[in-house]
A and B are shown apart, each in its own frame.
Chain A
C-alpha cells in the first residue's frame, strides 16, 4: 500500500538516465516568444498575463530591486506551469522533489542576503534586533533572529514541496476511495464531489506560486532596500 501510494513521485528514468530533465524542459515549449507586435492568440494571452503579474510584483521595489524582475517573473512562470502540468493524470511534477526546490530556494535567498550585506551592512545587521526590546532579552533575541534568517531557504523549499506533494497524495487517496466506494455503496456519490472540489482547490496550487515568489520578494525587499 505504501509503495503504491508514493509511486507517482518516483523520478522517471529511461534505462537509468533521468528523464526528469526532459519533463523539466517541457514548460518552455509551451511558452513561445515572438518578435512581432501583434501575435497569435496564445502569445497574446501569455504576454497579457505576464504583464499583469510583473506589474503587480515589481511596483514595490526601487530601481535596484527591479533589476531582479527577469529572474522573479521567470521563476513564477516556471513554478506555475510546472504545478499546473502536474495536475494532469499520470504526469510527473518536478516540484514534488525536495532537491529541486532546494536548488531553487538556496541560491536566490543567498543572493538577496549577500546583496544586502554588501551594500548596506549596517541596515542588514540591524534586522537582527527589533526595535524596543528590553535590554536583558537582547542576546537571546539576536540568536532567535539569526535562526529565523537562516531557516528562510529551508522554509521556502519545504513549503513548496510539502504543499504540492500533499495535494497530489490527497487526490490519489480520494480517487481510489471513490472507485472502491462505487462497487460497495453507490449512493455515496458526494465522495466524487469531494474529488471535484479538491481538484479546484488544488488549482490554488497556482496561489502557492504566488506565495513562493511573494515571500521571496518580501525577503529580497527587506534585505536590500530598506
Chain B
C-alpha cells in the first residue's frame, strides 16, 4: 500500500495547498493564485467559513469563538494607530504610550 506522501501522478503546483508546496516552488505558486476580485472574495469567504465552522457552528460553542474575533480587532486597530501613538508633542505632554515604551 502506498504511503501517505506518495502519489502516482504528479500534482500541478497550482492545485497544491500552501503547506505542501516546496520552498523553491513558492514564487510560482504565489503567481499562479487567482488575484481577480472574485478570487479574493472567494478567499475571504473560504476563510470566514473555515473559522465559523470550527469555532462557532458547533454544538456547544463557547464565548471564545467571538472573543477571539474581538481580540484580533483590537490588535488590528492598535497596529493602525501605532504610528500616531508614537508622535512626540511637547516635553511634559509625552503620551503614556511613549513613556511605557521607553522604560521597558
Residues of A whose CB lies within 8 Å of any CB of B are 1, 3-4, 7-8, 12, 19, 26, 29-30, 32, 40-42, 85, 88-92, 176, 179
How many residues of B are in contact with the other chain, CB < 8 A? Answer: 23
A90→B74 contact, CB < 8 A: yes
A7 to B61, CA, bound (A): 37
| Residue numbers in A under 8 Å from B81 (CB-CB) | 7-8, 12, 90
A92 to B70 alpha-carbon distance, docked (Å): 13
> A65 vs B70: C-alpha distance in the bound complex, in angstroms?
36
A29–B69 alpha-carbon span in the complex (Å): 10
Kindly specify which of B4-12, B17-25, B50-58 makes contact with the partner chain. Answer: B50-58
A40–B60 alpha-carbon span in the complex (Å): 7
- B93 in contact with A91 (CB, 8 Å): no
Complex Cα gap A160–B61 (Å): 34
**Contacts A3-B89, A90-B81; A41 near B74 (Cβ below 8 A):** no
> Smallest Cβ distance from A184 to chain B, in angstroms?
13
Cα(A90)–Cα(B72), bound, Å: 12
Binding site for A on B (CB under 8 A): 48, 52, 56-61, 65-66, 69-70, 73-74, 77-78, 80-81, 84, 89, 93, 95-96
A2 to chain B, nearest CB (A): 10
Q: Do A85 and B96 touch across chains, with their CB atoms under 8 A apart?
A: no
A176 touches B96 (CB 8 A): yes
- Rounded to whole Å, the gap between the CB of A91 and the closest CB of chain B is 5
Assess the A92–B95 pair: CB atoms within 8 A: no
Contact A12–B74 (Cβ < 8 Å)? no
Q: Is the CB of B73 within 8 A of A88?
A: yes
Q: Quick one: closest B residue to A10, CB to CB?
A: B84
A41–B63 CA distance with the chains assembled, in angstroms:
9
B48 CB contacts on chain A under 8 angstroms: 29
Given contacts A4-B89, A29-B48, A29-B69, 8 further A-B contacts (CB under 8 A): A12-B81, A32-B56, A41-B61, A42-B61, A88-B70, A88-B73, A88-B74, A89-B78
**Is B89 in contact with A40, judged by CB distance below 8 angstroms?**
no
